[in-house]
Structure 1
Amino acid sequence: TLLVDIDDEQSFQNPYFYEEMHGIERYVYQKEYSLIVANIKTAPKKQNMIDFLVKSKRTDGIILPSNIIDDELVAKLCEHNIPFVSIGQPSVSSSPISWVDIDNFRGGQSAAQHLLQSGCHKIAFLGHNPKKFFSQKRYEGYLSALATHNIQLNKELITTCGNSKEDGYECARELFKKHLDIDGIICGDEIISIGVIRALSELGKKIPEQVSLISFDNGQIAQLSFPSITTIDVDVFELGYQSAKLLFDQIERTSLKNQGILIGTAIELRETTRKKES
């Protein structure tokens, strides 16, 4: 069973949610099982859903997103001896559980290092959300790269941002009002990067000669954009696939200890960044 929050619009508007689900379904199919997607929202509904799945004997294991995990839910699952895996490293549960996540720290670090090694000195981070664990890990990776290059953090270059291209456009315009000398930008996803590119065009900033840009995600938007966008490739299919594999490992080997798995990232070089300086 894959538990989701049906009211979390950001998840359902994001094509990567379906790619993640595709990875889960691929492994589940190989094991000749069926995948059930169940809605879960508030704390009472969490407990009701678990009770329903247990009493109806409709699940052998559960995959759930880290943002809905809390100690009460973990206790309920353990009470009923239901194997479960978190997609995303949990930030709030005090109980040891199994999880699979993207190596977001290394992704943020790689993005910043690539810009620094290609000659950028003042790098903005658009789309940081301290309430999202994955976003915070990317930010920490960014900080690590700055420290390695002895660059002091300027907090004015770190901005929260929505998920639309309009949000990216507005954030970029606001940033450049105060910091015209920004020469590198890291975007939280490829959708907001489209708005950033539009803002840079209106400001007369040449990409990548004057401003380099790198974005997380590596979908068709990044490939078809003009200029095409250099990205940190986040393999969400593999994230889903490995989550399902870990769950079946737990189902088939009940003595298996809880563990965490990190999925690596890679840089896809395109037209929005310069070549590394020799």
Structure 2
Amino acid sequence: MIVTIKDVAKRANVAPSTVSRVIANSPRISEQTKKRVREVMEELGYHPNFQARSLVAKSTQTIGVVMPNSAYYAFQNPFFPEVLRGISTSAHENKYGIYLSTGSDENEIFNEVVSMVQGRRVDGIVLLYSRINDKTMKFLHDSNFPFVVVGRPFENEERISFVDNDNIYITKQVTKYLIELGHRHIAFVGGSLHFVVTIDRLNGYKLALEEADIPFNEEYMVHEEYIKENGREAIRLLMSLDSPPTALVTQDDLIAYEMISHLEDMNVSVPNDISIISFNNLMLSEHSKPPLTSVDICIYQLGLEATNCLIEKMNKPDSLPKRITIPTKFIERKSCKKKK
């Protein structure tokens, strides 16, 4: 038998409107009455219908979080639990729940976001990626629905709120770091060119080479898709070039760990034979062998600031778009060495 608000009111000897105000924690109701009504709710096993309340309030008090692929694969990358920690902190402080997307490919993600928006299941959305020619982002922008992107939008940058690192600058700096160590054969490993973060980091890498009068070599580009298909073969082919790289700039720490493992199997020593530098500064980076030189992109802060920005946008729909740049930290460890 379903317990209703009227059942609670009858048992607590109050009006149904009083029970509603207790659920909403109205200051107009005394603490004594609140205590009595809550005791009855617990005794009867009554659970408020927050969905019905949200229809009245025209707010779900829920934020949608959209990942680039299914939760199963996303959570294999420590980036996502950490960025969600930042999102959750802001959401909790502002009394919002989180609705996590489960779409496994671009079309499923798009359909789910359309359902979220048209079904008014969320008040706003945080996109945890920026893809080139992304129909999901275009839909959100054209629908004038509140959303914020973690990453630089591929288009309409000046009209979309986003939170990001300066990926061009930081990749230029880490590549210059390797050049200053004497490396001229530097490979760029990992990352999908379907995502703006890879394009920006690749551009930063190319700028550093250009400033040092080092020609860009297509053979030194290894894409994420190839690594997923066969990482061992990808690094074997790279190291079998006539002029193999003496240093790697990898897209993230997970790819760096994999490269170190494959290189070890090939009896190639890091950093004695090859230097490696990466991004994200995951917890394991300082305990890897060797400890990994990495860029801390402040993942938690990316999630926190994106959600703060979204909540402000939901509360003030006419506010201007924001670009928030999160500073990074270069963590120098032992995976890079001066070239003799």
The TM-score, its normalising length taken from structure 1, stands at 0.85
- Report how far residue 110 of structure 1 moved: 2.0
User: 1:194 pairs with 245, 257, 261, which one?
Assistant: 257
Further displaced range: 151-160 or 86-95: 86-95
Change (3 A) 1:187 1:131: same
Q: Is 1:260 paired with 2:260?
A: no
| Alpha-carbon distance in structure 2 between the residues aligned to 1:25 and 1:196 | 33
- Report how far residue 138 of structure 1 moved: 0.5
Give the match's secondary structure for 1:120. coil
Q: How big is the alpha-carbon RMSD for the aligned residues of Structure 1 and Structure 2?
A: 2.7
Letter paired with 2:65:
L
- The runs of 5 or more residues in structure 2 that have no matched partner are 1-62
Q: How does 1:162-241 map to 2 (within 5 A)?
A: 162=225, 167-241=230-304
| Alpha-carbon distance in structure 2 between the residues aligned to 1:164 and 1:25 | 32
| Alpha-carbon distance in structure 1 between the residues aligned to 2:181 and 2:260 | 19
Q: What is residue 49 of structure 1 aligned with on the other side? A: 116
Give yes or no for contact 1:231–1:268 (8 Å, CA) kept in 2: yes
The TM-score, its normalising length taken from structure 2, stands at 0.71
Further displaced range: 41-50 or 121-130: 41-50
Q: How does 1:127-166 map to 2 (within 5 A)?
A: 127-162=190-225
User: 1:4 pairs with 66, 87, 95, which one?
Assistant: 66
- Give CA deviations for 1:30-82 in whole Å, capped at 9, x if unaligned: 223333334452544432221112xxxx5333222334633233222x1xxx4
| Alpha-carbon distance in structure 2 between the residues aligned to 1:97 and 1:153 | 33
Q: Is 1:250 paired with 2:317?
A: no
| Alpha-carbon distance in structure 1 between the residues aligned to 2:231 and 2:178 | 19
- The runs of 5 or more residues in structure 1 that have no matched partner are none
Give yes or no for contact 2:83–2:300 (8 Å, CA) kept in 1: yes
- Give CA deviations for 1:124-163 in whole Å, capped at 9, x if unaligned: 1111422111011100000011111111111111111349
| Alpha-carbon distance in structure 2 between the residues aligned to 1:118 and 1:144 | 17
Letter paired with 1:33:
Y
Further displaced range: 38-47 or 264-273: 38-47
Further displaced range: 5-14 or 133-142: 5-14
Q: Is 1:272 paired with 2:339?
A: no
Give the match's secondary structure for 1:215. strand
Further displaced range: 36-45 or 11-20: 36-45
- Report how far residue 165 of structure 1 moved: 8.5
Percent sequence identity over aligned pairs: 27
Give the match's secondary structure for 2:224. coil
Q: Which has the higher contact order (CA 8 A, sep 6+)?
A: 1
Give the match's secondary structure for 1:178. coil
Change (3 A) 1:100 1:222: same
